[in-house]
């Protein structure tokens, strides 16, 4: 019976749906995390009676036909890039992007990764790095005797050192944007990589050319809506149960056939 396989595809699809939702909930407090959404497609159809075929010699045609679907499959898992909440942290090296754009991170292998998580720190050389020690592209070295570090809305990194009346500019943080942000490949560690689907990065100064601005002392939180995720989880669970009920019913029908005398 085809319904056995159809029910199995439905259970597998809802299993993946629950996995996507659980990952969203697990990253509820992950800085800069963007929630994901599973998308599904129906599978091929078997034509028992093809639509549009001739039904008589008089030229009449079949208006609808008979098509039997074979189940469901996963089409994609989208990353939803709407803005998360902006929360104050009072940390000078915490920076949030308000609007469009990604921070650019120099990876150890020479590649450039991209992130919305602006929780940065200083390494032993006075360089601005991520929690894993990867270098943020743009700022130079912060002097050891720096009294303060200021990152303005347009990405300029200014430090105040003793003996100088004006702050010293040590670098510029630029942002990168993509035509298709959902096409970026997730690496983990809050990092994304460019792919053919995302298009090439367009680099720009914060606040210009539709780029977002920077907010020092703030972090962008995850954009996961816990109420929506719990609702989706309940829906996925019920859909999984109904698909399992289809398999149970098909098994009972086959049992009835096998018991015929």
The pLDDT confidence band at residue 48, using thresholds 50, 70 and 90, is confident
**Statement to judge: residues 196 and 213 lie in one domain:** yes
**Statement to judge: residues 134 and 46 lie in one domain:** no
The count of domains in the chain is 2
In the prediction, which pLDDT does 64 show?
A: 79
What is the tens place of the pLDDT at every residue in 157-202?
999 988 888 889 999 999 999 999 999 999 999 999 999 999 999 9
Q: SS3 breakdown of the chain: % helix, strand, coil, rounded to 5?
A: 25, 35, 45
**Statement to judge: residues 216 and 90 lie in one domain:** yes
**Statement to judge: residues 16 and 104 lie in one domain:** no
**Statement to judge: residues 182 and 111 lie in one domain:** yes
In the prediction, which pLDDT does 233 show?
A: 96
What is the tens place of the pLDDT at every residue in 231-246?
999 999 999 999 999 9
- As a residue count, the chain comes to 261
Identify the residue whose tokens are 């460019």: 194
**Statement to judge: residues 168 and 44 lie in one domain:** no
Identify the residue whose tokens are 């991170």: 105
Mean pLDDT of 104-109: 95
Q: What is the helix (H) or strand (E) element at residue 199, kind and residue range?
A: none
3-state secondary structure (DSSP) of residue 11: helix
**Statement to judge: residues 216 and 164 lie in one domain:** yes
The CA distances from residue 65 to 2, 47, 51, 234, in Å, are 19, 8, 4, 36
In the prediction, which pLDDT does 217 show?
A: 95
Domain that holds residue 65: 2-80+224-258
Instruction: Kindly tell me if the per-residue pLDDT of 56 is higher than 80.
Output: no
**Statement to judge: residues 184 and 234 lie in one domain:** no
Whole-prediction pTM value? 0.85
What is the tens place of the pLDDT at every residue in 61-71?
878 778 788 89
Q: Nearest 5 degrees, angle CA 221-CA 203-CA 167?
A: 75
Instruction: Kindly tell me if the per-residue pLDDT of 152 is higher than 80.
Output: yes
**Statement to judge: residues 90 and 214 lie in one domain:** yes
**Statement to judge: residues 96 and 185 lie in one domain:** yes
**Statement to judge: residues 140 and 187 lie in one domain:** yes
Burial of 200 (0-12, 13-18, 19+ CB in 10 A): exposed
**Statement to judge: residues 142 and 181 lie in one domain:** yes
């Amino acid at each position: 019976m085809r319904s056995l396989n159809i029910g199995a595809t439905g259970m597998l699809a809802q299993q993946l749906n629950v996995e996507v939702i659980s990952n969203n909930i697990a990253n509820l407090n992950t800085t800069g995390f963007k929630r994901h959404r599973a998308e599904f497609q129906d599978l091929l159809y078997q034509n028992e009676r093809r639509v549009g075929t001739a039904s008589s010699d008089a030229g009449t045609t079949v208006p609808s036909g008979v098509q039997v679907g074979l189940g469901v499959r996963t089409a994609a898992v989208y990353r939803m890039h709407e803005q998360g909440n902006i929360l104050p942290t009072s940390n000078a090296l915490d920076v949030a992007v308000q609007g469009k754009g990604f921070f650019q991170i120099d990876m150890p292998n020479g590649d450039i990764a991209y992130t919305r998580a602006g929780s940065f720190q200083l390494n032993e050389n006075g360089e601005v790095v991520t929690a894993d020690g990867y270098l943020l592209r743009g700022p130079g070295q912060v002097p050891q005797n720096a009294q303060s570090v200021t990152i303005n809305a347009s990405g300029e990194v200014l430090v105040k050192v003793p003996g100088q009346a004006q702050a010293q500019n040590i670098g510029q943080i630029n942002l990168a944007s993509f035509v298709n942000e959902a096409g970026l490949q997730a690496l983990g560690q809050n990092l994304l990589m460019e792919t053919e689907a995302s298009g090439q990065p367009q680099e720009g100064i914060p606040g210009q050319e539709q780029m977002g601005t920077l907010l020092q002392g703030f972090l962008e939180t995850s954009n996961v809506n816990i109420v929506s995720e719990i609702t989706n989880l309940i829906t996925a669970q019920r859909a999984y149960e109904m698909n399992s009920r289809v398999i149970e019913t098909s098994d009972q029908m086959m049992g009835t056939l096998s018991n015929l005398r």
